[in-house]
Every structure is written in C-alpha cells, then in structure tokens.
Chain A
Amino acid sequence: MKQNDINETDIELMLQRYARQRMEQQILDEGDALYSHHLRRASLRHYGVTAFAAVLLVVSLWGATPQVSAQATNRATLADRHAAIATTDLIIHNL
C-alpha cells in the first residue's frame, strides 16, 4: 500500500512537472511568435518609411523645373555655365 502511495505521488509529481514544462514551452512559443510578429511589423514599417522617403525625395527633386534644357559656351567650364545662367536670370529679373 505504501509502495502504491509512493508511486502515485511520483506519477503526480511527474505529471505536474510535465504540465509545467508544457506550460513554459507554450509561453516561450507564444513569446517567440509575438517577438517575430513584432520584428516583422517593425521591419515593414521601417522599409515602408524608407521607400516613402525615397519616393518623396525623387518626386520633389524631379518636380523642380530645371533652369535650362541645354547650354553651350565657348569656354564651357561648369563655373562659366552657372555664371551665364546667373547673368541671364539677373537680366530677366531687371527687364
């Protein structure tokens, strides 16, 4: 009878341990899933914001009208080109 009692207690303990382990595992799994979900959402949000910023940047820069279509100078350095455009702007402004 005593032997049976011991066995029953052992079995009960084993069952309790098993239940605890399962519960811990379940909690861990749920935590993992939650963490993965959170990471996925954060990643999506990050890349969404980046893509939106990139599109906004391209559109805003592209939307600004370029000053000239093309240009030719007999001393065609970049500084000469900018100076010619600046002088033309000044003349147009003072017309």
Chain B
Amino acid sequence: MRRRWVISLLVLTIAAVAVLLVKYWPRTTSDNECSALYRRYLDRDGIQASYIQGKAIGDTLRVDVTLLQATSPSGWQQLCHDFNIPTPDSSALALLQDGNPDITLSILPPHFSDPSQEEMHTPDPSQEERLSSDMMLLAASSHTLQCVSVFHITTPQQFDALVGHHIDQLNP
C-alpha cells in the first residue's frame, strides 16, 4: 500500500515538473526573428534591449514588444534623445513620487526602427499607407522606470486592448 503511494507521488511529481518545464523553459528567438529596433540597440552601452515575442495582453491577444531599459544615466539620456522623451519639470516630478510609474505614449514613424531605410525610401503614398497600416510602433516611455517599451501593433484589436480605453475616455 505504501509502495503504491510512493509510485503515485512520483508520477504526479514527474507530470508537474514536465509541465512546468515546458511552460516556463525560456524560449529564445533568433536574431532574425527579433525586431529591427532590438537589433539597433543590441550592443549599445548603458542600454539593455529585450525583445518579447507574443506577450499576452488579455485572454486571447498577443503583441510583440521591444523593451529598452537604461542601465546608466548616459543610456537614459541616449534613449530620451532618440525617442524625444521630454524631461519632466519639477511639479511633474513631485507628482511622480506616489510610486506609480509615469507613462508617456507616442506613436513612432514607420522607419524609426531602421533609419537607413528612411533615406532609401522613395515617397510613394500607397506604399506609405501600406507600411503604416501593416504595423504601428507605439512607444510607452517612463522616467521613473527609465525604460521605453515599444509595442509592435499589427491589428486594431491589439491597439484597443492596450490604449483603447483612453480613446473611449476622449470620445464618451
């Protein structure tokens, strides 16, 4: 009887460990699958770049995210410069003391990820429209967290899930 319990416990433990391993084992994307933005900041000093493929938002939606975190003051200055992040004034800084991170949203131009493409790009309205409708880069920057999170939005549902409630507040 005791042996039976030991076998059962062993089976249950193996099942649990197998599932947890499959679920939480880090799956790594190859560099080719990562965003151009991630590759652009990959080797910058003072900035830690992360590319998160298929981040779950809500129950069914997923979005790709490039996260750029400053690890030094110079890295944060670099990010502020690249993403045109305004420096908050003293009154705004006082408001930030409540512990919640400040988030500034901005929509990046289509060629932001790879500026070299912008120079080569020939002005073609239909092409521009197609590009912008294919993907939108929504940047959320935070002074308190000293990071910029860029969401690679490809569907209106993803946009709604992330910031749709702000639009609803603007248009009651």
Contact = CB atoms under 8 A, between A and B. Distances in A.
Interface of A: 43, 46-47, 50, 53-54, 57-58, 61-62, 64-76, 78, 80-81, 84-85, 87-88, 90-92, 94-95
Contact of A50 (B8, B65, B103, B163): B8
Nearest to A39: B1
Main secondary structure of the interface of A (DSSP, over half): helix
Contact of B55 (A46, A47, A88): A88
A44 to B, nearest CB: 11
Contact of B163 (A46, A74, A95): A95
B34 A72 contact: yes
14 contacts: A43-B4, A50-B8, A54-B12, A68-B53, A75-B48, A76-B28, A81-B26, A84-B67, A85-B52, A87-B147, A91-B145, A92-B162, A94-B103, A95-B162
Contact of A69 (B24, B54, B69, B166): B54
Interface stretch (B13-21, B80-88, B113-121, B126-134): B13-21
Interface string B78-110: 000000000000000000000011010100000
Nearest to B54: A69
A73 B50 CA distance: 4
Given A50-B11, A71-B28, A91-B103, A61 B23 contact: yes
Nearest to B16: A57
A47 B29 CA distance: 41
Contacts of A66: 23-24, 56
Contacts of A62: 19, 23
Nearest to B51: A72
A68 B34 CA distance: 14
A94 B8 CA distance: 45
A94 B149 CA distance: 12
Given A92-B57, A95-B162, A71 B26 contact: yes
Contacts of A88: 52, 55, 65, 67, 149
Contacts of A87: 67, 69, 145, 147, 149
Nearest to B65: A88
B77 interface: no
Contacts of B50: 71-74, 80-81, 84
A91 B15 contact: no
Contacts of A78: 26
Contact of B11 (A54, A64, A70): A54
